[in-house]
């Protein structure tokens, strides 16, 4: 099953299409959290910090996805200028990516060079014996992410300073193809705030 990870560009296109569909009986199954309390039910989606641990949380649907393959896409806040130089607002340390082996028995993370600023695709498989109880939430993995406010890139390049974390099961099942944003905020740097009102004010 993991051999399909080599077709990274095709999988990204497929994931975008699936994120726009979904079934009426499906639910959101994966959440991302700047966790600071050890509680998977309280989500912190914004931070003033420059370095954070991002924890991945599974909310188990009525039919647990035991033995199923899944895909996680991660887009870092980034933009490219006219010289095709990438400027990151948020950069992930994929060497720090880990999953709880009780829940995920294998995974691969690959970069997608077919698109600007290189989003990432994580291909994984839930264990056949994962201790999943329907309706419960579990921390299943984590990675480090860092905020980069300097240097400020030239216009019209404005990094978004967020992470877009997407998720889908290979079979669809009862998990909705979904995505959520995590935001880093940069004190003292208005461009890093990510609002068009602030950006426009710089040029008045």
Q: Where are the domains of the chain?
A: 2-201
- Tell me which H or E stretch contains 14: helix 8-19
The pairing of strands 178-184 and 78-80 is unpaired
User: pLDDT 10s per residue in the chain (204 long)?
Assistant: 444 444 444 455 455 444 444 445 789 999 999 999 999 999 999 998 889 999 999 999 999 999 999 999 998 888 887 777 778 888 888 889 999 999 999 999 987 665 567 788 999 999 999 999 999 999 999 999 998 887 778 888 888 889 999 999 988 888 988 899 999 987 654 444 443 333 333 333
Q: Tell which CATH classification among 3.90.1010.10, 3.40.980.10, 3.90.1150.10, 2.60.40.690 matches the domain 2-201.
A: 2.60.40.690
In sequence order, what are the beta bridge partners of 121? 73, 110
Distance (Å, rounded) from C-alpha 6 to C-alpha 12? 11
CB atoms within 10 A of CB 113: 10
Distance (Å, rounded) from C-alpha 190 to C-alpha 170? 40
């Amino acid at each position: 099953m993991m051999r399909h990870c080599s077709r990274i560009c095709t999988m990204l296109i497929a994931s975008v299409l699936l994120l726009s569909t979904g079934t009426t009986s499906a639910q959101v199954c994966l959440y991302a959290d700047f966790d600071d309390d050890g509680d998977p039910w309280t989500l912190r989606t914004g931070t003033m910090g420059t370095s954070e641990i991002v924890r991945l949380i599974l909310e188990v649907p009525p039919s647990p996805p035991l033995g199923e393959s899944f895909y996680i896409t991660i887009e870092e806040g980034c933009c490219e200028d006219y010289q095709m130089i990438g400027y990151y607002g948020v950069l992930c340390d994929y060497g720090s990516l880990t999953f709880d082996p009780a829940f995920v028995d294998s995974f691969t993370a690959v970069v997608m060079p077919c698109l600007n600023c290189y989003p990432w695709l994580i291909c994984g498989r839930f264990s056949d014996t994962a201790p999943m109880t329907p309706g419960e939430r579990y921390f299943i993995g984590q990675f480090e992410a860092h905020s980069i406010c300097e240097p400020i890139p030239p216009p019209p390049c404005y990094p978004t300073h967020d992470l877009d974390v997407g998720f889908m099961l290979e079979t669809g099942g009862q998990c909705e193809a979904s995505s959520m944003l995590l935001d880093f905020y940069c004190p003292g740097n208005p461009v890093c705030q990510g609002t068009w009102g602030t950006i426009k004010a710089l040029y008045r």
